[in-house]
């Protein structure tokens, strides 16, 4: 474990004792992720190429089971009564002063009645919802459902992944919380990294975003010094070499925050809906094989495979059968309701949320599908070059940069998930970078740039002088100065999530005593 991460483990262990008054049993670390190429195509069934960052979310937990319902029911008129319950207390190392007030969630168990957690997510996005989502990976286990005993879970969160920046701080929080409560599972050694990633993908949807699984897979499965090729249906991962002796990858923050769950209905989930609409139109054009449930379960990648088409062939079908102008909610022939039919429309809205229909009036399946098929083709070429015998040559590296640039242009023009600041930032980055693109969902957040190793410092200075200093002057705020490293930094492809458990009999106040747990590939 790198020295910085070891310090973080020791620090959160001490802080846990200060806040919860007892020792943590587990500490999990989950990195952020930077997607090199393959944006908004994981939920369309296509593969992606992310790396993990050295920034991490850290989650410490204690899990105590109390026999004979020894936790008191605080809301019962009979103060002496007791009942089995799940009692979860979530705190942040920064506390209320850092804008992270603690949250306590208590659920009472009733024989034969599954615990209903939906109400805990109904009040809107909140950072603790991601912690709860991670814990609920294990909601069906005996530990959580056994009516004969109560379970008390203490949680403490810390970390340094920039929030709402397109680096998957939210998914890292879900993964770390799931790992830190892994002992709730009756047979933890039976779980693989990909299985845990799939569980986290599913449970994070409780928070309100219809994600596809890239973030959780990268966070769980990435390996140091390499990219990760993540494929779906079924989920499988493989390590991809990068020309790291010749280039570095540099992240630069636009300073525009884009909280994915907050804007889901008009941004992220709307794009998921538009892609499903494109799938329905294409399916109808070639014979109409998909039922209501199939439109929800199937992807554009499934369509391509079923028709045995190349990416260009799919794009030709898009241009032929999906009109360029927007589709509307107006109830007439050729619009969304008519194209989908009520049954398929309802099925899709159950997946992405009815707010997508309520808050939007027009939809652009033509543009979205062109991006998806084009981006899938770029990922395939990037992968072929990165794994090829000429991967370290100038020509190959320049072509990788061109693919990154093309991806960014498609994100801006076809997927329309950019913002003026990102456009300005990528333009400045390209003055030095081989290639530069938005990474993450978009609408703000970060860019990732591939830079010749010898140009890294010149790149950082160029971005500082061309983007950050003018922006600070415009906002009449202090210069970035010593904080520059928070906004622009080199990413050394890092290891995926880690779990550490306290050694038996160790009662030290957070000083050492942690054993790494090997997670199965």
CATH code at position 396 = 1.20.1440.340
- The per-residue pLDDT for 80 is 41
Same domain, 200 and 349: no
Give the integer Cα–Cα distance in Å for 78 and 39: 55
Q: Which long-range contacts (CB under 8 A, 24 or more apart) does 513-520 make?
A: 514/9, 514/13, 514/27, 516/1, 519/192, 519/193, 519/196, 519/220, 520/189, 520/191, 520/192, 520/193
Same domain, 226 and 345: no
The answer, as to whether pTM is greater than 0.85, is yes
In which residue ranges of the chain is pLDDT below 70?
1-4, 68-82, 97, 292, 477-482, 504-512
Reported as a single tens digit per residue, the pLDDT across 494-520 is 999 999 998 765 544 445 578 889 888
Give the integer Cα–Cα distance in Å for 60 and 194: 22
Give the integer Cα–Cα distance in Å for 128 and 131: 5
Q: Can you give the C-alpha Rg of the chain in angstroms?
A: 24
- The per-residue pLDDT for 73 is 46
- The per-residue pLDDT for 1 is 66
Sign (positive or negative) of CA dihedral 474, 478, 481, 487? negative
CB 441 within 8 A of CB 422: no
Catalytic residue among 87, 215, 283, 408: 215
Same domain, 447 and 351: no
- The per-residue pLDDT for 504 is 60
CATH number of domain containing 476: 3.30.70.3170
CB 181 within 8 A of CB 132: no
Tokens of 122: 């109904």
Q: Give the residue from 413, 433, 455 where a domain finishes.
A: 413
CB 425 within 8 A of CB 467: yes
User: Which stretches within 21-164 are classed as H helix?
Assistant: 127-135, 142-145
Same domain, 430 and 501: no
Same domain, 404 and 465: no
DSSP annotation of 110: B
Same domain, 334 and 192: no
Give the integer Cα–Cα distance in Å for 256 and 270: 20
Strands of 75-124 (E only): list them. 85-92, 103-108
203: Cβ contacts below 8 Å, ≥ 6 apart: 133, 134, 136, 137, 174, 178
CB 487 within 8 A of CB 253: yes
Same domain, 373 and 500: no
- The per-residue pLDDT for 93 is 93
Q: Give the residue from 365, 381, 413 where a domain finishes.
A: 413
Question: Which residue, 62, 207, 209, 59, is CA-closest to 120?
Answer: 207
Tokens of 369: 């599908």
CB 23 within 8 A of CB 143: no
311: Cβ contacts below 8 Å, ≥ 6 apart: 304, 373, 374, 376, 377, 380
Q: How many helices (H) and strands (E) does the chain have?
A: 19, 15
CB 126 within 8 A of CB 450: no
Write out the residue range of the structural domain in which residue 386 sits.
Answer: 268-413
164: left (phi over 0), alpha (psi -120 to 50) or beta: left
Give the integer Cα–Cα distance in Å for 311 and 309: 7
- The per-residue pLDDT for 81 is 46
CATH number of domain containing 82: 3.30.230.10
Same domain, 110 and 217: yes
The β-bridge relationship of strands 103-108 and 149-159 is unpaired
* Active-site residue, 355 included: no
- The per-residue pLDDT for 481 is 64
Reported as a single tens digit per residue, the pLDDT across 89-105 is 999 998 876 778 899 99
CB 261 within 8 A of CB 125: yes
- The per-residue pLDDT for 479 is 65
Q: Give the residue from 358, 389, 413 where a domain finishes.
A: 413
The domain total for the chain is: 3
Same domain, 34 and 82: yes
Same domain, 396 and 423: no
354: Cβ contacts below 8 Å, ≥ 6 apart: none
Residue 440, Cβ density class (10 Å: 0-12 exposed, 13-18 middle, ≥19 buried): buried
Give the integer Cα–Cα distance in Å for 16 and 487: 29
Same domain, 487 and 498: no
Same domain, 33 and 127: yes
Residue 166: cis peptide before it, omega within 30 degrees of 0: no
Give the integer Cα–Cα distance in Å for 302 and 158: 40
Give the integer Cα–Cα distance in Å for 173 and 32: 9
């Amino acid at each position: 474990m790198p020295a910085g991460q070891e310090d973080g483990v020791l620090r959160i262990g001490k802080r846990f004792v200060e806040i919860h008054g007892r020792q943590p049993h587990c500490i999990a670390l989950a990195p952020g992720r930077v997607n090199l190429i393959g944006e908004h195509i994981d939920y369309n069934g296509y593969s992606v190429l992310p790396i993990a960052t050295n920034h991490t979310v850290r989650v410490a937990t204690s899990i105590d089971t109390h026999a004979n319902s020894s936790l008191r029911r605080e809301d019962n008129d009979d103060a002496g009564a007791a009942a089995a319950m799940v009692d979860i207390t979530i705190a942040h190392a920064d506390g209320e002063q850092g804008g992270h007030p603690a949250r306590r969630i208590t659920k009472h168990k009733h024989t034969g009645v599954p615990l209903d957690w939906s109400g805990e997510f109904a009040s809107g996005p909140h950072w603790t919802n991601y912690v709860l989502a991670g814990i609920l990976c294990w909601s069906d286990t005996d530990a959580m459902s056994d009516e004969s005993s109560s379970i008390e879970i203490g949680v403490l969160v810390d970390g340094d992944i920039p929030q709402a920046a397109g680096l998957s701080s939210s998914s890292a929080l879900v993964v770390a919380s799931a790992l830190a409560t892994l002992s709730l599972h009756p047979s933890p050694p039976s779980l693989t990294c990909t299985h845990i990633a799939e569980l986290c993908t599913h449970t994070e949807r409780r928070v309100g975003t219809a994600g596809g699984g890239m973030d959780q897979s990268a966070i769980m499965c990435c390996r140091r010094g390499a990219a990760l090729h993540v494929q779906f249906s079924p989920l499988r991962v493989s390590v991809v070499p990068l020309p790291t002796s010749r280039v570095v990858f540099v992240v630069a923050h636009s300073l525009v925050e884009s909280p994915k769950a907050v804007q889901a209905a008009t941004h992220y989930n709307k794009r998921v809906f538009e892609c499903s609409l494109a799938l329905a139109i294409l399916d109808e054009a070639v014979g109409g094989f998909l039922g209501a449930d199939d439109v929800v379960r199937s992807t554009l990648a499934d369509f391509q495979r079923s028709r045995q088409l190349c990416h260009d062939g799919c794009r030709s079908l898009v241009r032929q059968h999906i009109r360029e102008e927007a589709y509307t909610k107006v109830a007439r022939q050729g619009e969304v309701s008519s194209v989908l039919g009520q049954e398929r429309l309802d099925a899709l809205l159950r997946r992405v949320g009815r707010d997508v229909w309520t808050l939007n009036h027009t939809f652009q399946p033509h543009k979205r599908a062109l991006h998806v098929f084009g981006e899938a083709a770029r990922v395939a070429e990037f992968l072929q070059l990165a794994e090829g015998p000429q991967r370290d040559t100038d020509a190959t590296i320049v072509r990788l940069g061109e693919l990154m640039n093309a991806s960014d242009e498609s994100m801006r023009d076809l997927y329309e998930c950019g913002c003026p600041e990102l456009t300005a930032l990528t333009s400045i980055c390209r003055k030095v970078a081989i290639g530069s693109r938005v990474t993450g969902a978009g609408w703000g957040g970060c860019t990732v740039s591939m830079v010749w190793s010898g140009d890294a410092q010149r790149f950082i200075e160029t971005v500082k002088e061309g983007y950050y200093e003018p922006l600070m002057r415009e906002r009449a705020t202090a210069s970035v100065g010593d904080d520059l490293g928070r906004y622009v930094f080199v990413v050394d492809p890092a290891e995926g999530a880690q779990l550490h458990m306290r050694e038996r009999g160790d009662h030290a106040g957070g000083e050492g005593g942690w054993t790494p747990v090997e997670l199965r590939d």
